[in-house]
Amino acid sequence: MAYSEKVLDHYNHPRNVGSLDKADPTVGTGMVGAPECGDVMKLQVKVNPTTGIIEEAKFKTFGCGSAIASSSLATEWLRGKTVDEALAIKNTDIVNELSLPPVKIHCSVLAEDAIKAAIDDYKKKSAHV
């Protein structure tokens, strides 16, 4: 199967690979996985608590090119967005941007789930501060 140029670009030059300090109260961590394969995706956001803006986003994905590209793109989009704007990102936005074929749509779903899980984690943590 041929990957689109954008997928290949993200796959070969993934943006924002790495990790943030999980223990930091301004960092939210989302960990999601696909049941069929052993794909796992970790996505983290660092939020400025006063502005509610995501200042940093990092990811590390073990999976196919589309899964890596979806999460890489997600971190690019997350930077500079508010928490609520981040929650509005839909998997279909990722599908369109990367021209993912139908068999790879689950990769974009995984990325959307990872965003939601990371924001959720951040919200839970900040509620306790």
Q: Contacting another protein (CB under 8 A), which of 8, 40, 53, 105? A: 40
Give residues 62-91 in contact with another protein (rule: CB under 8 A). Answer: 62
Query: Quick check: 20 binds another protein (CB under 8 A)?
Result: no
CB of 37 to another protein, least distance (A): 7
CB 73 within 8 A of CB 114: no
CB 69 within 8 A of CB 6: yes
Task: Report the candidate in 14, 88, 78, 89 with the shortest Cα–Cα distance to residue 47.
Answer: 78
Q: Which amino acid, one-letter code, is at 78?
A: L
**Residue 64 falls in the annotated catalytic set:** no
**Site residues (vs another protein, CB under 8 A):** 31-35, 37-38, 40, 42, 60, 62
